[in-house]
Structure 1
Amino acid sequence: AAVGRGGGEGTVAVVDAVSPAWAERFGRALAPLRTTAGPHDRSPAAALPQSARLLDELGLARATPASLMARWASAADSTGDCTAVLGAGPRGPVSVDLTVEGPHLLIEGPAGSGRTELLRSVAASLAAAGRPDRLGLLLVDGAGGQRGGEGLGVCTELPHVTEHLIASDPLRMREFAQALGAELKRRAELLGPLDFAEWHTGREVSDRMIGQRPPSDQRGDIETPGSGSTMRLRTTSGRTAPAQPGAAGSPTPLPRLVVLVDDFDALVAPALGSPGRPAAGSVVRALEAVARDGERLGVHLVAASASPDRTSDTDLAQRTRLRAVLDAPPTAPGPDDPAPGRGRLGYPDGRVVPFQGGRVTGRIPRTATLRPTVLPLEWERMGDPPTRRPVRELGNGPTDLALLASALERAARSVDAVPVAPLTPAHP
């Protein structure tokens, strides 16, 4: 057998001392292999599925408290993981890390494109990634229930949810805006010149120093020295020692917050006659403050808009580096058309990755994953990932979101994770 290198010219090697059967086996073993990149790669990725289940993309086909606690324990640091899985991509799950690639995410798509379901999936995947004492979720339905449906209300079952605002009550909307503004101010005063991660790092170092003191010094505290170089201890009678960040029963003192807003454009430009119109401006100003200052304060914003032209001048649209654009639904959907949620995710580095949004409110029978399936496999696609088998919703059980919420509740109790307290308005 002759092997050429260099496109027809170059070194020619002759392989001998092997039988034709061995050479055939060797060639067939190499056939499925593909390079990770290159212009000659004819099969770089598998096609997107028609539909996707979020729990499958999270690796939680059977969501149990043990599997969730394992995910929480693998978080990068004490501030928790803030990774949101959007759905299935050509090479596996498509996700965004709000702490690294964010801090905010903007979802755009017309009516029927699956915006609300994608927001629900983002909320569910964030909850699966972070403990409820280190991550709080605030939900805002910007259309005030005018579009019908449940909106983000179904996500209130998640233990991470601390607020759910329906933009139809002006008084409640103003209270929410005041409470969110007060929380940003409180965090700014607490962090000082530091950002969220730096503050937590300093606190962990301080707590470790306190935890390493000998028993005789348990009632003292280190006082910052003045001009000298000697540290002095000041008594702290009547005070309790600071809690360890990762200890059971001691929640992180400053958790991350993620504000998820559906119909952001309806808040920016409310319709005439909308009951929430008088107070919409106060909520938008609070959300814009999150868009400007949230990165340093550990507060993230994930918003969905049906009319990008209405929100193009907002701080969120101008500052967001992560943007998901969903496709319009077909006028006459057929059996081969994808489910709502098909779109593209743009990363800060310019990459654009197609994805099929993972559904979390569907009802899928437990026996679906146990049924054998036979699918045709073409020889030239043997190296591709396995084809996803479509499943049929029978509507005879709880939703995936309800199953996940129940497992999250039990996992939180097991690790003594006290959920984040609701926001409180500033007092004059």
Structure 2
Amino acid sequence: AETERPGPVGPGTVGAVDAVSLAWAERFARALAPLRPDGAGGGERPTRVSAPLPQSARLLDKLGLARATPASLMARWADAADDAEALGGRAWAVLGAGPRGPVGVDLVAEGPHLLIEGPTGSGRTELLRAVVASLAAAERPDRLGIILLDGRDTVGKGGGGHGDGLRICTDVPHVTTHLTANDPVRMREFAQSLSAELKRRSELLGRSGFVEWHTQRAVSGRIVPQRTPNAASQGAGLGGGSTGGAADIEAPPSTTLRLRPGAAARQRAEATPPLPRLVVVVDDLDALASPALGSPGRPAAGSVMRALEAVAREGERLGVHLVAAAGPGGRTAESEPARLSTVRITLDPPGSGTDEPAPGRGRLKGADGRLTPFQGGRVTGRIPRTATLRPTVVPLEWQRMGDPPARRPVRELGNGPTDLALLASALERAARQLSPSGGAPAGGA
């Protein structure tokens, strides 16, 4: 027998290896192909692997709020308040699951307006509900207001979640108004109120934009007026002083000080209540652009459309955003709300097979023209059964080796509140804990 030599095996030593077939080696190599090293060198971010879209998605999971609590929502609102790039309020809308994680739209940076197009049954209303829920989760109610408008005059008559339109979102504390297009008197009042709000904002902002106006308020709130050297020497007997207050206070020959008009205007601005962002959410814009004969709201549909067109034209400067859903083509495509929408979503027709994705499958087209496929997050579903979330063991072909772990079909609880109801309750409790001044929670430091 060959004598054992200490240390590593030297050259020329014959060794036996476990032989594998060529097919096994190919399967193993393809299974390793999606993997990436943990932390790329040179400060580069690791490449995110694209995954197939799920057949359905839960919005609360995509929001990171599987257990929505007032504390988690207030932490998000505090982060938005500390964001220097979100002066005036955030308007983040999460749509659902994409190939590389959650897909969302920033109406401030990418908007100002969003148009959702899709045939009947494609999930337009559910996607609008998801937009309302995610907007509320991203910003506090005193910095973001939401107005709901159902273009159909049959909303609420059929009962159930599908026939309630946007009405089931009214429990969200951010929602200030909900209108159904079946009452001409209320529709005209709505159009007048919306037009008056646009006029009020225009007069308040003047020539400034929404962000610029809030920037000026933030700066003026940090400025402490200082006395001029003359006033300081007269009042305190000091020979010197800061000259920083010369821009705000004028010292005439007499001992009387009077504020310049600019400083007085700033004081009036500080007394003005905060101006929140406003998002107008419209379902079935077609019913307003082309109302059916005999529709109860037909006489007043024109006035509502004119108010929405004003929002589309002037909303970006005034901090007012429009999110509308409509069918493809028709007269709606020629309206200003459709033409001036920089961000668009196209939903696919509903499928009839068991393997077809749930309603809400579509593509997001940003202002840069890039298309992002996604599966809309459902918010009117119920808490899934935890037993259905356990991974299962199934055979996989090499083409699917990089897919996420397979899971059993998620079955929802047959009773209990919906995800939207749970989120609305947590939002309401979080809003009640905010102090009147909009700072820390009541009773906090």
* TM-score normalised by length of structure 2: 0.75
State the identity %: 65
Please tell me whether residue 281 in structure 1 is matched to residue 302 in structure 2.
yes
Please tell me whether residue 344 in structure 1 is matched to residue 363 in structure 2.
yes
Name the SS of the counterpart of 1:66 in structure 2: helix
Whichever of the two has the greater Rg, that structure is 2
Which of 74, 81, 90 does residue 79 from structure 2 map onto? 74
State the AA in 1 paired with 2:206. G
Which of 53, 63, 66 does residue 58 from structure 1 map onto? 63
The 10-residue stretch of structure 1 (69-78 or 125-134) with the greater mean CA deviation from structure 2: 69-78
Which of 161, 173, 184 does residue 170 from structure 1 map onto? 184
Name the SS of the counterpart of 2:76 in structure 1: helix
Equivalence for 1:190: 204
Which of 30, 35, 39 does residue 33 from structure 1 map onto? 35
State the AA in 2 paired with 1:32. P
Contact 2:389 2:408 in 1 (8 A): no
1:375 Cα deviation from its structure 2 partner: 4.1
1:394 Cα deviation from its structure 2 partner: 2.8
Contact 1:325 1:343 in 2 (8 A): yes
The 10-residue stretch of structure 1 (44-53 or 410-419) with the greater mean CA deviation from structure 2: 410-419
Contact 2:184 2:297 in 1 (8 A): yes
Equivalence for 1:312: 333
Please tell me whether residue 400 in structure 1 is matched to residue 415 in structure 2.
no
Which of 350, 354, 361 does residue 373 from structure 2 map onto? 354
Structure 1 spans left out of the alignment, 5+ residues: 1-15, 36-42, 420-428
After superposition, the CA RMSD in angstroms is: 3.5
1:171 Cα deviation from its structure 2 partner: 0.5
Q: Partners in 2 of 1:295 and 1:44 — Cα distance?
A: 35
Contact 2:249 2:258 in 1 (8 A): no
Q: Partners in 2 of 1:315 and 1:295 — Cα distance?
A: 14
Which of 98, 114, 118 does residue 109 from structure 1 map onto? 118
CA 1:227/1:363 → structure 2, altered by over 3 Å: closer, same or farther? Answer: same
Q: Partners in 1 of 2:286 and 2:32 — Cα distance?
A: 52
1:415 Cα deviation from its structure 2 partner: 2.0
1:382 Cα deviation from its structure 2 partner: 5.2
Equivalence for 2:6: none
Equivalence for 1:131: 140
Equivalence for 2:435: 416
Q: Partners in 2 of 1:303 and 1:388 — Cα distance?
A: 35
Q: Partners in 2 of 1:159 and 1:312 — Cα distance?
A: 32
Q: Partners in 2 of 1:123 and 1:233 — Cα distance?
A: 48
Q: Partners in 2 of 1:242 and 1:269 — Cα distance?
A: 47
Please tell me whether residue 150 in structure 1 is matched to residue 164 in structure 2.
yes
- Bigger relative contact order (CA 8 A; separation at least 6): 1
For 1:154-233, list aligned pairs within 5 A.
Answer: 154-210=168-224, 224=248
The 10-residue stretch of structure 1 (341-350 or 274-283) with the greater mean CA deviation from structure 2: 341-350
Contact 2:391 2:407 in 1 (8 A): no
Q: Partners in 1 of 2:368 and 2:306 — Cα distance?
A: 29
Equivalence for 1:3: none
Structure 2 spans left out of the alignment, 5+ residues: 1-10, 19-24, 38-47, 228-234, 236-244, 439-445
State the AA in 1 paired with 2:107. L
Contact 1:58 1:85 in 2 (8 A): yes
Equivalence for 2:53: 48
Equivalence for 1:85: 94
1:404 Cα deviation from its structure 2 partner: 0.1
Q: Partners in 2 of 1:352 and 1:251 — Cα distance?
A: 42
1:378 Cα deviation from its structure 2 partner: 5.6
Name the SS of the counterpart of 1:163 in structure 2: strand
Number of equivalenced pairs: 372
1:350 Cα deviation from its structure 2 partner: 1.2
1:120 Cα deviation from its structure 2 partner: 0.5
State the AA in 1 paired with 2:152. A
CA deviation profile, 1:79-136 (whole Å, cap 9, x unmatched): 2221101111111111000000010000011111111111000000000001000000
Contact 1:53 1:358 in 2 (8 A): yes
Equivalence for 2:410: 391
Contact 1:322 1:346 in 2 (8 A): yes
1:417 Cα deviation from its structure 2 partner: 6.1
CA 1:251/1:62 → structure 2, altered by over 3 Å: closer, same or farther? Answer: farther
1:253 Cα deviation from its structure 2 partner: 0.8
State the AA in 2 paired with 1:46. A
Contact 1:340 1:357 in 2 (8 A): yes
Contact 1:223 1:233 in 2 (8 A): no
Please tell me whether residue 297 in structure 1 is matched to residue 318 in structure 2.
yes
Contact 1:57 1:88 in 2 (8 A): yes
Please tell me whether residue 363 in structure 1 is matched to residue 377 in structure 2.
no
Q: Partners in 1 of 2:226 and 2:145 — Cα distance?
A: 31
Q: Partners in 2 of 1:363 and 1:87 — Cα distance?
A: 16
CA deviation profile, 1:229-282 (whole Å, cap 9, x unmatched): xxx6549xxx9x97999xxxx996100000000000100110000000000000
1:317 Cα deviation from its structure 2 partner: 1.4
1:73 Cα deviation from its structure 2 partner: 1.4
Which of 114, 119, 122 does residue 128 from structure 2 map onto? 119
Contact 1:72 1:80 in 2 (8 A): no
Q: Partners in 1 of 2:74 and 2:376 — Cα distance?
A: 25
Contact 1:207 1:244 in 2 (8 A): no
